Amino acid sequence: MKPVIEEAVIGLLNLKPTDVPSSMVIADLGCSNGPNALALVTTAVDALLHRFARQHNQAPLELRLLLNDLPDNDFNDVAKRLVLFQQSTQSSGVVLTGGIVPGSFYKRLFPSNSLDLVLSSNSLHWVSEAPEDLKSDRIPLYDDDEGLRRARRHLVIQAYSRQFSKDFTLFLSLRAQELVPGGRMVISIAGSRAYQCGTLWDIVNVPLNDMASRQSLVSREMLDCFYVPLYAPSDLELRKIIQDEGSFEINKMQLHEMELSLIAPNTIAYAFRAVFEPMIVQHFGLSGDVMDEFVRTLEQHLVQGSPQLTYLLGDTVSVCISLTRF
Ligand SMILES: C[S@@+](CC[C@H](N)C(=O)[O-])C[C@H]1O[C@@H](n2cnc3c(N)ncnc32)[C@H](O)[C@@H]1O
């Protein structure tokens, strides 16, 4: 995302070429915690400092960095990193203030017309909830019976695609209210090459289904009502949603290979454990030992070249989008 964020920053500085901007507000939505929490805002600030010092080195610039995630996020960690970053920029002559904004990005988070730049990476493929119609019609995400699974796949994907479209449309319209006209948004999201095919949940359901069939470690009944709130849209779906919503011009949409097939199966299995463990443990009430078995089972499927997972790894891309608010 780095060059795309840099372009967006330059675009913002050029918005009114004769004016010296005195302040800028930058938000990262779904910042998480740990080393990545400030990665996006740091990239934007570095780009600003680089351009600003060269063009208008006499004027003070005030930057406000706002970091958002769900309320359970470790915001103490984020706050400490923010203070360290503030200290590291002290000698640059910029006034840098920060704020933490807990809450769902599917709700209003900021005042109207208050943001210049919105950033978000690897977060928007999480939908607000699994599709209600699948739950009420008791259609499992992953039928054990292959025939049934194939027959229902289209239905399941359609339901998730609709849910994603509803959530992403809402996200765009909320951010359009919060951004200033001409404001920028740069996001990255897990996507699929193929149209309406974002079955990223298979990576979890294939091993869980195996565990339910082989042992009683995972209950079949619980698996049938386990809906992962995740959808990886294609660039075509994203483009259509953005155009239909109508608040943003698309400057750029890039597809990047995830190169998952080049990563060792064991590393992939641990990475997916890290992402999905809280959700799996909460739903199935499983222990750490069972999660060890989850890693072993997923690794085995990856090593054996399970057709579903091989397809999935090849189909998954990271989509980077740069938008300007009309
Ligand atoms: C995979 S992490 C990405 C973290 C970081 N942006 C990065 O790229 O490394 C996804 C983050 O999105 C957050 N998230 C998911 N749904 C969200 C929502 N509705 N509102 C705010 N944050 C959300 C999660 O809590 C999680 O911290």
Residue 236: pLDDT over 70? yes
Higher pLDDT among residues 48 and 21, named by residue:
48
195 three-class SS:
coil
For atom 8 of ligand 1, the residue with the nearest CA is 121
pLDDT of residue 287: 77
113 in ligand 1 pocket by Cβ < 6 Å? no
Backbone φ and ψ of 113, nearest 5°: 50, 40
**Sequence-ordered list of residues with C-beta below 8 angstroms from that of 67, at least 6 positions apart, any chain:** 27, 28, 31, 37, 38, 41, 75, 78, 82, 98, 99, 100, 101
User: Could you please report the per-residue DSSP string of 54-85?
Assistant: HH-TTS--EEEEEEEE-TTS-HHHHHHHHHHH
122 in ligand 1 pocket by Cβ < 6 Å? yes
135 three-class SS:
helix
Q: Measure 30 CA to ligand 1 centroid, in angstroms.
A: 3
171 in ligand 1 pocket by Cβ < 6 Å? no
Q: Report the atom number in ligand 1 closest to the C-alpha of 37.
A: 5
Amino acid residing at 9: V
Q: What is the mean pLDDT of the chain?
A: 91
For atom 14 of ligand 1, the residue with the nearest CA is 30
Dump pLDDT digits (tens) for 144-182. Answer: 898 998 999 999 999 999 999 999 999 999 999 999 999
For atom 19 of ligand 1, the residue with the nearest CA is 104
- pLDDT band (50, 70, 90) for residue 90: confident
Where would I find the beta strands (DSSP E) of 103-178?
Answer: 115-121
Query: C-alpha 276: how far from its chain's center?
Result: 14
- Most informative mutation of 31, 67, 69, 256 for ligand 1 (most atoms within 8 A of CB): 69
Q: Measure 32 CA to ligand 1 centroid, in angstroms.
A: 6
Residue 260: pLDDT over 90? no
105 in ligand 1 pocket by Cβ < 6 Å? yes
Higher pLDDT among residues 69 and 201, named by residue:
69
192 three-class SS:
strand
Q: Report the atom number in ligand 1 closest to the C-alpha of 28.
A: 6
For atom 24 of ligand 1, the residue with the nearest CA is 30
pLDDT of residue 53: 61
73 in ligand 1 pocket by Cβ < 6 Å? yes
Q: Measure 244 CA to ligand 1 centroid, in angstroms.
A: 25
Dump pLDDT digits (tens) for 197-228. Answer: 878 888 999 999 999 988 677 889 999 999 99
The answer to whether 67 and 105 are in contact (CB under 8 A) is no
